Structure 1
Amino acid sequence: MKLSRHTKVAAAVAGAASIALLATACSSGGSESGSDGDITLTVTTFGTMGLDDLYAQYEADHPGITIKPTNIDTGGNALTDWQTKQAAGSGLPDVQAVEEGWLSKVMQVSDSFTDLNEYGGAENSADQVSWKNEQATDADGRLIGYGTDIGPEGLCYNGALFEAAGLPSDRESVAALFGGDDATWEKFFEVGKQYTDKTGKAFYDQSGFVWNSMVNQLPEGYYTSDGELNVEGNSELEARWALLAQGAADGLSANQTQWDWGGGKAFIDGSFATFVCPGWMLGNVKGNVEAAGGDATSGWDFADVFPGGAANWGGTFLTVPTTSKHPKEAAELAAFLTSTESQVAAFQAAGAFPSTTTAQADPGVTGESELTEFFNDAPVGQILGSRAEGVVAQYKGPDDSVIQEQVFGPSVQELDSGKADGPTAWDHAIDLLNQLVAQ
């Protein structure tokens, strides 16, 4: 997640509850059948996944199928919702969206999800980037989810604010400013300090998203690739934390509330000038600007560069819990919602960058869209395709989202508020790690 991805404007983050998971399939499902044989399929998603118009299309093409969607504001809250229903043994939908950051937790009870191979899974997922299918395949070879998107990251920046600060504002020059293909976090914070010293304003909205991106692009993050905790004593994490802490001390963070931004106002009032942007976040930027009364003239742009190189933040799967009374129909719906055509539509609606290679190359992704127009005519799809080169999603352990949100979340807030320096905030995070995460 990974901070939880896909979030609506002004959504509030809630920590994921630690609830015991059931290791066996539950007994009751969420789908409904009317006396006339019609079927209602329930779908639970989160944030801005760009699927709403697709529901109506599917219903029109499948008489007798009614889709009853539920959208939860954040991925963290969606995790809590899923855990609660999984533990209770009731209330799960026919199609459940699962965020990459808590997929490992889901995999602990993978036998409570339908093996999509029973419904054409291999054929339906053949065009997914290879590592996406690997993520959703359990130890017994069961495919439990179809990928909707991946989260390659580029850099959103406000060209008008850059120009006012005496920095270059066109995309190519901005990419070069941060080092181009050799961009580093050191250079990012260096430029940020120049901007803040010149303007007296913050460079990025808050440190949490920056930290999340810094962690996600490492070969191994909070867990090693073989599933061992990898936080305490991790010199790479500590070095990046030191950079983040210095950035906060230098005033580069606007100390915004995650997923809030004052109802979007901070995106149009000059509160900050850069924003880390996986594809799905582009729709959030646009939505926040518009919610605050802004538009494409607000100055936001999108550059083909990212500190530290290729990085992936997010990516979601559609699964079918075994509690569904209509697993075949649910699997068919999940396949439709993750088809090439649907992924192109979701990208155009929300910026979710496709996880199928065919969709990535489709003119509907590489060409013009509402996002292109909003981001100063930036070739958004082409940039994301470039940023996806070399991306392989990091292994996420079962408590990855807990570590990101509940362990490091408070310490990030300490940095941004000035309540603690880097070493002190790190020690506080380690204390929380030992309290909240089984060693």
Structure 2
Amino acid sequence: MSLSRRTKAVAAVAGAAAIALLAAGCSAGDSSSSGGSGDKVELTVTTFGTMGYDDLYAQYEADHPNITIKPTNIDTGDNAKTDWQTKAAAGAGLPDVQAVEEGWLSAVMQVSDQFNDLSDYGADEIKDRWVDWKLAQATDKDGRLIGYGSDIGPEGLCYNRTAFEAAGLPTDREEVATLFGGEDATWDKYFEVGQQYKAATGKAFYDQSGFLWNAMVNQQPEGYYTKDGELNVDGNKDLQKLWTTLSAATESGLSANQTAWDWGKGKAFTDQTFATFVCPGWMLGVVKGQVTAAGGDATTGWDFANVFPGGAANWGGSFLTVPTQSKHPKEAAELAAFLTDAKSQAAAFGVAGTFPSVTAAQTDPAVTGTNELSTFFNDAPIGEILAQRADGVVAQYKGPDDSVIQSQVFGPAIQQIDSGKADGATAWDNALELLNQLVVNK
């Protein structure tokens, strides 16, 4: 579906709904209802990665003197899933507000009765906030809405201007988009440019193959699962063809063989270990954080182009849920509603690059204009770029073991081709063996 084409119309609906709620005095995030009698309430929140909520927590506490927020942030979505599963199995320890990543939402949906139906806390009055498919993702088979959508993950291409200049490649972001094929960009063209870069510099073109593989899978109408929830890996000729293309490029030396989520405290981003990086909106905050950690800044040369090999792709996107373990579900739901309203999503975007799933936020000046993140990326209009990259994005069904397949089935196979320990065909067969062990026959 096209997000950018329907933004103004839906924003108007959302705005009208907000006015109606204000008049009724019963908004899901209304400060007058938080905390009931004014008793002191501590709300625990578990997030992961870079979600841009710190300033929003402080704002909420200032506006709600009876509320104290105790946040916990886990480094990656996979580790957050493990944390959730461990505490859910123990029947204790889950926070009042639990962030859930798109890749393991299906696993959550299998036990959706362990989460509050947000319709009991005002969700029906604010449903018009979100793009339709984001709302549908968080609605279980019984029609219960268990999560408020935070961001979505349209992807563009991060590239290092300094590295491109050294290779004799264009550095202007519009010229870079054209270099990769513009609207007709393909993975074959991306790897072709990679070969030119390697020939000129002797260096790798991308950090590691796993993120590219993830993007390739997400671009398919159906990924590791069919729309009907059936496994869709073994015998999938489309995925196998993509794997062959990726492994051939990697075997030719285009991968820097970095460990996913570990770039030497950011050093690989500052010393031109690689020149390009796949970037959903939320990854922009990760890139900035890595560069800064290694002592770099905007002059390190990272930029953001309105192009992506293979076309529209969505990676990630999160939801804020309220587990039934919460002792303060009403207050937790109100906090989740606040963190995912238009103004909050626009503010989080300026910090972390988390592109809003709330339609009104997508045209907010805080998103489309200059902010801390856009300044870091050479004044790139990142909000405008992501809005265009979101055009054509649809929600791919993610099965219950989707994140397991990505990280534990194909993760080792990616490491094998990146390190040269196996060719593409052998690594694919090894992945299928792991699939049988970890998913099919678990």
TM-score by length of 2: 0.91
Match of 1:255 among 254, 257, 265: 257
C-alpha contact 1:46 1:97 (8 A) present in aligned 2: yes
* Equivalence map 1:198-237=2 (5 Å): 198-237=200-239
Q: Does 1:75 align with 2:52?
A: no
Deviations 1:31-69 (A, max 9, x none): xx9x99311111111111000111111111111111111
Q: Give the stretch that moved more between structures: 120-129 or 369-378.
A: 120-129
Deviation at 1:124, TM superposition (A): 2.3
User: What do the CA deviations read for 1:212-240 (whole angstroms, capped 9, x no partner)?
Assistant: 11111111000001100000010110011
Q: How does 1:174-323 map to 2 (within 5 A)?
A: 174-323=176-325
1:115 counterpart (117, 122, 129)? 117
Aligned residue pairs total 406
Alpha-carbon distance between aligned partners in 2 of 1:363 and 1:340, rounded to the nearest angstrom? 11
Which of 423, 426, 429 does residue 424 from structure 1 map onto? 426
Q: Which residue of 2 aligns with 1:88?
A: 90
Name 2:10's counterpart in structure 1.
Answer: none
Verify: 1:374 aligned to 2:379, yes or no.
no
Of 112, 120, 124 in structure 1, the residue corresponding to residue 126 of structure 2 is 124
Task: Identify unmatched segments of 5+ residues in structure 1.
Answer: 1-32
Q: Which residue among 414, 419, 427 is the counterpart of 1:412? A: 414
The one-letter code sitting in structure 2 at the alignment partner of 1:147 is G
Q: Provide the secondary structure at the position in 2 that maps to 1:263.
A: coil
How far apart are 1:122 and its partner, in Å?
2.2
The CA distance in 1 between the partners of 2:127 and 2:72, in whole Å, is 25
Q: In the alignment, what sits opposite 1:154?
A: 156
Tell me if the contact between 2:129 and 2:341 (Cα under 8 Å) persists in the aligned partners: no
Which region of structure 1 is more displaced relative to structure 2, 144-153 or 321-330? 321-330
Aligned counterparts of 2:124 and 2:380: Cα–Cα separation in 1: 35
Aligned residues of 1:211 and 1:244 also touching (Cα < 8 A) = yes
Q: Residue deviations 1:192-223, cap 9 Å, x none?
A: 11111221100000001111111111110000
Aligned Cα RMSD in Å?
Answer: 1.2
**Which amino acid is the alignment partner of residue 384 of structure 1?**
L
What amino acid sits opposite 1:184 in the alignment? T
Q: Give deviations 1:166-212, integer Å, cap 9, x for gaps.
A: 11110111101111000011111111111112211000000011111
Partner residue in 2 for 1:356 = 358
**CA contact 2:362–2:387 (8 Å) conserved in 1:** yes
- The one-letter code sitting in structure 1 at the alignment partner of 2:403 is S
Counterpart in the other structure of 2:146 = 144
Structure 2: where are the runs of 5+ without partners? Answer: 1-34
Offset of residue 438 of structure 1: 2.8
Distance in 1 of aligned mates of 2:400 and 2:300: 40
Where does structure 1 differ by over 6 angstroms across 4 or more consecutive aligned residues? Answer: none
Q: Which residue of 2 aligns with 1:389?
A: 391
Task: Tell me how far apart the structure 2 counterparts of residues 250 and 125 of structure 1 sit (CA, whole Å).
Answer: 49
The equivalent residue for 1:325 is 327
User: Which amino acid counterpart does residue 102 of structure 1 have in structure 2?
Assistant: W
Preserved CA contact (<8 Å) 1:125 1:146: no
Q: Structure 1 or 2: larger helix share?
A: 2
Q: Given residue 175 of structure 1, which amino acid in structure 2 is its aligned partner?
A: A
**Alignment partners' CA distance in 1, 2:326 and 2:162:** 51
**Aligned mates of 2:127, 2:430 — CA distance in 1:** 43
Residue type of the alignment partner of 1:153: E
Residue aligned with 2:98, SS:
strand
